[in-house]
Amino acid sequence: MSLKRSTVKELLASQDLDREVLVKGWVRSRRGNKYVQFIIVNDGSTIHTIQAVAAAENFPEETLKDVGNGAAVAIRGTLVASQGKGQAVEIQATEVTVLGAADAEAYPLQKKATSLEHLRDIAHLRPRTNTFGAVLRVRHALAFAVHQYFNDHGFYYVHTPIITGSDAEGAGQMFRVTTLSADKPPLADDGSVDYTQDFFGKQTNLTVSGQLEGELAAMALGSIYTFGPTFRAENSNTARHLAEFWMIEPEVAFNELEENMDLAEDFLQSLVKYALANCADDLQFLNDQYDKELLGRLNFVVDNAFQRLTYTEAVEILKSAKQKFEFPVDWGTDLQSEHERYLVEKHFKKPVILTNYPKEIKAFYMKLDDDGRTVQAMDVLFPGIGEIIGGSAREADLHKLETRMAEMHVPTEDLEWYLDTRRFGSAPHAGFGLGFERLVLFVTGMSNIRDVIPFPRYPKNAAF
């Protein structure tokens, strides 16, 4: 029987020594002297590497010439307690096979420190670095934890469309989807583009949010969530924005704003807790390498209740703050990230949930407060991140919703299907959207959102 491959993770945790093992992975380094060579291998299963020891009597230099940085190898040998320090076990190699050689000099991932900016240009190879291996494993764990949380809490996962005809956020930052010729589109009699001839017979775009369709499902299944790709053509060259990102949007029938906040807080704390419990090695590495306060911050978020206050109260705090802001604060204006970060990092020193924003700066679907000036919005603000969640209680009253749509020039003819939920068995409901990459950014302590998604899309960049 042929020997089954073990992962590095399995071998490092193994108590079962002095047996024959087979490991396959990529060489991180090879060093040694004329008696013995040490081959360090990583296979992605863990941030850690395993060391294979190749005695020169069995492996003349010639046989190892292709075993250089970046090469893919298969190593067979005996798993033994390590003689050296730094690792518990190592492999006494009996056979080293090069599966794929790599020209060590041309290999773009050299030992000398490679900047995160440079790694973005070689994003096809960066998963092989410790940093991106850690980030990608944490990203996976968080995605898994999202599904686990909702499954455990009785939510159903709903797949909402990626191609839609509506603009859920009314912000007009959409990528158009069309099969019409870009140079010579068919024209209608009035000279405008004739979209009736387009693939779907109308204008379509990539979705900016699955919420509106998610609401339809919540009004039948009770508690649902979406988790899918989301697209925004905003020209934001910031460390917090992507043109393509993943959003998680729970929506719960019969929930009011308060319950929506409770859900958001419990959800975020559970996700961070899951990462702390299941990604300890990777988080420790990121803590040591990039951000010495990372683990402390993650534990703090898990252990402390979020601060809840209204937008109006926040504006009062910001107006009396000693700090000078670049953008002035006045009731009615949207808060900038400098304001959000002041509240979270300086004033309260903990996550903040801001509620009841002026209706003018929020989307049409949010439930109007009794004063007629504010809506039942809620934004969750996190240290180092700013807004991580945006959500609200939804306007369940057909008449009020139609009035808001008219005021905000949201065309009702495209959204009759949405209004039907308010016509037939309407009920209070609430939900929110969590930007998945902002969560990964927070949990990994990385500083740029382009470094927490394998292949980032941002203005002037769609490489790979």
Binding site for ligand 4AD (CB under 6 A): 168-169, 209, 211, 232, 234, 241-242, 245, 247, 249, 387-392, 431-433, 435, 437-438
3-state secondary structure of 247: strand
Q: What dihedral do alpha carbons 104, 107, 111, 115 form, nearest 10°?
A: 170
Minimum Å gap between C-beta 390 and Mg ion is: 3
- Binding partner of 77, given ligand 4AD, Mg ion, none, CB within 5-8 angstroms per partner class: none
Q: Closest separation between CB of residue 290 and Mg ion, Å?
A: 27
* Strands 50-55 and 89-100, bridge-based pairing: parallel
Residue 169: CB minimum distance to ligand 4AD, A: 5
What token pair was written down for 222? 């009770």
77 vs 390, which CB is nearer to Mg ion? 390
Residues 311, 46: Cα–Cα separation, whole Å? 44
CB of 261 to ligand 4AD, least distance (A): 13
Residue 438 interacts with, from Mg ion, ligand 4AD, none (CB under 5-8 Å by kind): ligand 4AD
**Minimal distance in Å, beta carbon 339 to Mg ion?**
14
The residue (of 169 and 198) whose beta carbon lies closer to ligand 4AD is 169
> Binding partner of residue 126 among Mg ion, ligand 4AD, none, CB under 5 to 8 Å per kind?
none
The one segment of 192-200, 221-229, 390-398, 450-458 that binds Mg ion by CB under 5 A: 390-398
- Find where tokens 């679907």 sit: 365
Is residue 208 a contact partner of residue 174, using CB atoms and an 8 Å limit?
yes
DSSP per residue over 397-455, as a string? -HHHHHHHHHHTT--GGGGHHHHHHHHSS---EEEEEEEHHHHHHHHHT-S-GGGSSSS
Nearer of residues 48 and 457 to ligand 4AD, judged by Cβ:
457
Residues 137 and 443: their CA atoms lie apart, in Å, by 12
The DSSP-derived string for 65-108 is TT--TT-EEEEEEEEEE-SSSS-SEEEEEEEEEEEE---TTT-S
Among the listed residues 464, 440, 461, the one whose alpha carbon sits nearest the alpha carbon of residue 452: 440
Token pair belonging to 229: 């790709």
241 binds, among ligand 4AD, Mg ion, none (CB under 5 to 8 A by kind): ligand 4AD
Judged by CB, which is closer to ligand 4AD: 281, or 345?
A: 345
- Cβ distance to Mg ion smaller for residue 133 or 390: 390
CB of 362 to Mg ion, least distance (A): 8
* Cβ-based nearer residue to ligand 4AD, 11 or 401: 401
**Measured distance CA(426)–CA(396) in Å, rounded:** 6
Q: How far is the CB of 322 from ligand 4AD (least distance, A)?
A: 28
Count residues binding Mg ion (CB under 5 A).
1
Which residue's CB is nearer to Mg ion, number 77 or number 391?
Answer: 391
- Which of ligand 4AD, Mg ion, none interacts with 209 (beta carbon under 5 to 8 A by kind)? ligand 4AD
In whole angstroms, give the CA distance from residue 41 to residue 72.
Answer: 9
| Closest of 445, 328, 437, 340 to residue 386, by C-alpha | 340
Query: Which residue in 25, 214, 383, 390 binds Mg ion (CB under 5 A)?
Result: 390
Considering the complex, state which of residue 209 and residue 255 has its C-beta at the smaller distance from Mg ion: 209
Phi, psi of 245 (to 5 degrees): -140, 175
Tell me which of Mg ion, ligand 4AD, none is bound by residue 298, counting a contact when its beta carbon lies within the kind-specific cut-off of 5 to 8 angstroms. Answer: none
Instruction: Report the residue number whose CB is nearest to Mg ion.
Output: 390
Tokens of 160: 């909402």
Residues at the interface with Mg ion (CB under 5 A): 390
